[in-house]
Structure 1
C-alpha cells in the first residue's frame, strides 16, 4: 500500500541516524516499510585517520550498513561523490524521480532545505522536492514531506515523536559511525538535543517524553 511506505533521504551516511534514528524504529514498529536513500558516499567526510579516499568510502559504507542493521532499516546507496557538479545533480534528479515514481511513498523525510546550515543537505532536499513534484505529475499520488533536524535545531516544529523506547538503539546506530565520532564525538550532542526536546515540550497536552525527535511539515502549496 502506498501509505505504508516511508522514504528517507540521507544526504550523508549518518544523517538519518542523527535526525530520526528513533522515529525510524517507531515507523517500523507500526508496520511501515522504511527505505533509506543514502545519497553521497562519504569521501569528503572528516578523515582523522588519514586513510585514502577509497578506504574512507569503504569504511563509511561498512558503517552505514552496520547502523542500518541496528535500526532495522533497508538502505540503498546511490554512491555520489558530492552534490556540487551539475552532472551529479542531473543524475541524482533522474534517479530520484524514478525511485519516487516506483515506490509512491506515503511519506518522505529529509533535511530542511532552508534551515539546515549544511549546503549539501539543502541541495539534496531542494532537488528531492522538485523530483517529488515531477513524480506526482507523472503518476498522481498523495505524499507528505517531513523535515528532520541534523545540523541546525529548529526554532519551532509541527510534530514530535517520543523515541524514549528507542533512544539506546539510536545511540548505538550513531556510534556505529566510528570514523566520524573519532573526529568529533557528536553522539552526546545529538542525544542531548533529543533530551532537550523531550524536557521542554509543552506538556499541556499531557505528552511528556523523556527523549524526542521533532519535524517540520513541508507546505507543498
Structure 2
C-alpha cells in the first residue's frame, strides 16, 4: 500500500502545506498533489499559494488583454509536475515479462526433458520465483533500493554482454549467429532498464539524486571492467 500523504498532511498548517506545494523538486508528486488538495479544501487562493500578492491592473481598473492572459497562467498550468506513472508502469511490465518468459522457458524444458525437481529448483529458479516478484513490489512501492538494484544489475549485464560477445565475434568464436539475436535481445532489455531508470522524472520518483546516479554508473562500470579482467 502506498503512503497516504493526504492523511499525513491533515494536521499540517497552511504555511507548511504552501511550502510543500512550492517545492515541487524536493517532494514526491503525490505529496505535492496532497498539499494542493488540502489547500483547495481550505479555500486558500491560488495566488496565495504561488506567493502572488496583487494582480497588475491598468488605470481603468480593468486588466488588459495581455495581463488577463498572465492571470490565467496559474490556472491553466498544472501545479504538480508530470507524474512518472507511465515509466513506472513500463518498468513493471518489463519485470513481469522477464518473470513469465523465464518461467515458461524453464517449465518447457522441465516437461520436455523430464527434469528432476532437484534440477528445476536451483539458483536460477530462486531468482525467477523470488527475486522478480520482490523487485516488482519494490518498484510498485517506489523503494530507493529497487532503483539501485535494477540499475546496477542491468548496466553490468548489458556491458558484459556487449564486451564478451563483441570479442567473440571479432575473433570468430561465434559460429551460430542465431545466438547473437538472443544476446541482442538481452542487450535491448538491459539497455531499456538503464535508459528508463536514468530519466530524471523516474529517478526523482525513487528519490535518487543526479550525483547518486552518476556515482552508481561509475562504480558499476569500473566494477564490470575489473570483473571481466579477472576472468581472463
| More relative contact order, 1 or 2 (CA 8 Å, 6+ apart) | 1
TM-score by length of 2: 0.28
Question: Which has the higher Rg, Structure 1 or Structure 2?
Answer: 2
TM-score by length of 1: 0.29
Which one has a larger percent strand, Structure 1 or Structure 2?
Answer: 1
